[in-house]
Chains A and B, each alone.
Chain A
């Protein structure tokens, strides 16, 4: 669990509820001990800055390239995107997902919303998704695939090999299927 900033507590609770051994990761030494990583919701500009400042960004890029399973929600999805649109000056992502993601794509907090999403890969029931100043996947490259879209076609969940990213926050609604999908990959990769 990358714990530089954001809703770390909610993710840890879901992961531990599913029986996983989950720890907060802020330093390269801690990263070296884990076999998968969740990047939480938060401010992507802050998570980016702190990850470079404390030397975890480069080792994390190397782990992603080596196939470590990673799941990112909201800011975490932004961190995993190869291209970030509407970023602040100098903002970098870790990359890995062959997508372009736009920050704050829906507007300000008054436009934050909840809705139900049908996601065939996850089966029934529909996923109740909470979008908070959320990003959207604006273009999907050939290596990534779409997992979920809004009724208007905008892409809000993608995956590529061992990487998974959602614009919304399953960790705040008691939705466990994305975390299970991530943990399945961690087990398979181990």
Chain B
């Protein structure tokens, strides 16, 4: 492969599977925070975020304001990249490979092909193997996760229901993925052919998961996490880390809440630490109960 501009030596390979999946491995045990300004990005970094997601509107506002939600303004993404030293992620619409090309050209560290934005293609997702920049994609179940990995996703996040502050969908999705993995583990080889058919995923990948008992990429969780206890719940349910969207900057004291969620994610199995982190955080985001959301307004149903 070619020598990069920053002067990496020759005979090096860029954008390999290992390098793409590897960055997600390094984010494990961490919190990735949605930010809409450079100032918020700095607050997130100071509070201990392991990466930030740069976007124009947090999911709660996208939900409230409606309309078509698209990739963010490149100026905003540039500003956020310039303002922090931790990895910067940004969202492209499902199937919008040109938005993804733009994000790669801007030098973001991870592209989120996200159901939070309005889909650009109701049939196809992006062919993510074509990119040097790694992708994270949402999933509500194992089959969806495996289809995204087959398309080249280097990290999976369970979807939850973004912008609600209601953690119930996130719980459902991470539980679904882990229990479907457990079911695979108990199957015989001939049953795995049928499982692959039912999951609409390649047999080789299904067989690999039946063997290892885990996805071949890192699994974070997202969508509705608003408190330190929510984050710890996700970790105890088997997530490798958490995304917090509207939960931080839609709350009363963002810096304090952000730091508290970071603590609870690391000490997810220590109720005393979580209790301590949960004290005096001011008001949490108001939130919407997912049950009150009519089905057409549920973002987690986007993705195929």
Chain A residues within CB distance 8 Å of chain B: 3-10, 26, 41-43, 45-46, 49-50, 53-54, 74-75, 86-90, 103-104, 106-116, 130-133, 150-152, 169, 172-173
Contact = CB atoms under 8 A, between A and B. Distances in A.
Main secondary structure of the interface of A (DSSP, over half): loop
Interface in B71-105: 81, 84-88, 104
Given A5-B50, A8-B29, A75-B26, A106 B4 contact: yes
A133 B267 CA distance: 26
Contacts of A50: 48, 262-263, 266
Contacts of B109: 108-109, 133
Given A41-B26, A43-B27, A46-B48, A110 B107 contact: yes
B132 interface: yes
A172 B16 CA distance: 13
A45 B85 contact: yes
10 closest A-B pairs by beta carbon, nearest first, are A109-B109, A107-B6, A115-B12, A113-B12, A5-B29, A7-B25, A151-B9, A112-B19, A132-B22, A108-B107
A81 to B, nearest CB: 15
B133 A133 contact: no
Nearest to B267: A26
Contacts of B20: 109
A9 B27 CA distance: 12
B104 A110 contact: yes
Given A109-B87, A172-B18, A26 B266 contact: yes
A111 B107 CA distance: 9
B182 interface: no
A113 B26 contact: no
B294 interface: no
B110 interface: yes
B285 to A, nearest CB: 23
A78 to B, nearest CB: 11
Given A112-B19, A114-B12, A173-B18, 12 more contacts: A10-B25, A46-B86, A46-B262, A88-B84, A110-B14, A111-B5, A111-B14, A113-B8, A115-B8, A131-B19, A132-B19, A150-B8
Interface of B: 1, 4-16, 18-20, 22-23, 25-30, 45-46, 48-51, 81, 84-88, 104, 107-110, 132-134, 262-263, 266-267
B25 A114 contact: no
Contact of B14 (A113, A133, A150): A113
A45 B48 contact: yes
Nearest to B106: A108
B154 to A, nearest CB: 10
Nearest to B11: A115
B48 to A, nearest CB: 5
Contacts of B133: 109-110
Given A46-B48, A151-B10, A132 B26 contact: yes
A115 B132 CA distance: 16
Contacts of B8: 106, 111, 113, 115, 131, 150
Given A5-B266, A107-B6, A109-B110, A46 B18 contact: no
B278 to A, nearest CB: 15
A57 B87 CA distance: 24
Contacts of A49: 48, 262
A45 B22 contact: no
Nearest to A149: B9
Contacts of A104: 85
Given A110-B15, A113-B13, A152 B7 contact: yes
A45 to B, nearest CB: 6
B79 to A, nearest CB: 15
13 contacts: A4-B266, A5-B30, A7-B25, A42-B50, A43-B51, A45-B45, A90-B46, A109-B20, A109-B109, A110-B132, A115-B12, A132-B26, A151-B11
